[in-house]
Amino acid sequence: MSAAEPVYLDYAATTPVDARVLEAMLPYFTTHFGNPSSLYSYGRTARQAVAQARQQVASLLGAEPGEIFFTSGGSESDNWVLKGMAFAQLRASGKKHIITTTIEHHAVLNACKWLEAQGFTVTYLPVDDVGRVTAEQVAAALRDDTALVSIMYANNEVGTIEPIAEIGALLHEQGVFFHTDAVQAAGHVPIDVQQLQVDALSLSGHKLYGPKGTGALYLRRGWQLDSLVHGGAQEREQRAGTENVPGLVGLGQAAMLAQHEMSAEQARLTALRTQLIEGLQALPGVSINGSLTQRLPGNVNFRIKGIDHEVLLIRLDLAGFAVSAGSACSAGSLEPSHVLLAMGQSAAEAQEAVRVTLGRYTTAADIAAFLAELKRIVGILR
């Protein structure tokens, strides 16, 4: 049996551009094609569109427009804030210690490895068996020379949400710069940077039904980063390069739609997630990875004892269901998930993990069809 139409269940990898987002973008490819730095009317129109997008992204996060810097995506935002703040702190105060966790996205982990090669010291905090770190761990790791702390809002593989507000309160009191990678969470769960007391936050447009190649970095007023891209005076002389006006219009529109529809969509996805988890738990040998309570509404990561995920993914794909084994950025890697290993699983157990992520166009019928096909495939494989 296969799905009548292909069923996409990998929204954590990327999302389709919402039709309303595309509609908002189209005029900026053709009619309103001006360079925002130009002084004449074409430029003014483009500049106003970028300003509106900045306001829309700021509103989603509870920030001020002047605290939003546009980037090409989450990876650039992560790299910019880590490298830019690390060198700014080193120059200003000689601080060269960084704190992060073992389950971060590779954009953070590999940036930290690069910084270690430049002479910085990095503490990688361990997590518990559901992928959570505690404020107490962060407090114990702080040193006099700690330059910054970077802890993701929610994990991209297992969906576990970290206690960011608790950590933020601790670090704000200590005056330590705090960044969170919120690429998986922004637009899907309520985020207020003031309540969280974070100093910087990364997000990506293609994770919230906006276009690929767009992103943003929130940077709390009063902090200054070293630039990563040098050239012109764009982004208040912080990030050079002519603005991707259609993309930024799309990012802004996607942020606005996410903010307006978040409450209803969060409730709908949580109900679908519950339907999926209950169906999975009815199958023998299934374990759910990550927290059952502190979890993104659309994320379900599970493993089936004795069944390699590659075999399962191929059979599901042939049946018309698109799911993944973990991070899209690690697709093709023969290494087991660093997240699951950090959570205490063996390499063999990690090779059984499957990630199903739900989104705006997922239905209860999709979940039922997926569970029926999974049950059929598991029966054959066993």
Question: Could you give the residue numbers annotated as active site?
Answer: 329
Distance CA 202, CA 218 (A): 7
Q: How far apart are CA 358 and CA 10, in angstroms?
A: 7
Report the alpha-carbon distance of residue 200 to residue 205 in Å, rounded: 17
By the 8 A CB rule, do 359 and 11 touch?
A: yes
Long-range contacts of 88-97 (CB under 8 A, 24+ apart): 88/224, 88/225, 88/226, 89/147, 89/148, 89/177, 90/120, 90/147, 93/147, 94/145, 95/145, 95/146, 95/147, 96/120, 96/121, 96/145, 96/147, 97/121, 97/122, 97/123, 97/143, 97/145, 97/146, 97/147
Angstrom distance (rounded) from CA 32 to CA 27: 6
Please state the separation of Cα 178 from the chain's center in Å. 16
Task: Look at the block and give the residue holding tokens 């361990």.
Answer: 126
* Tokens 């930290």 found at: 112
Contact between 72 and 281 (Cβ < 8 Å): no
3-class SS of residue 66? helix
Single-letter amino acid code for the residue at 283: L
- Cα 14 → chain centroid: 10
Burial (CB count <10 Å: 0-12, 13-18, 19+), residue 240: middle
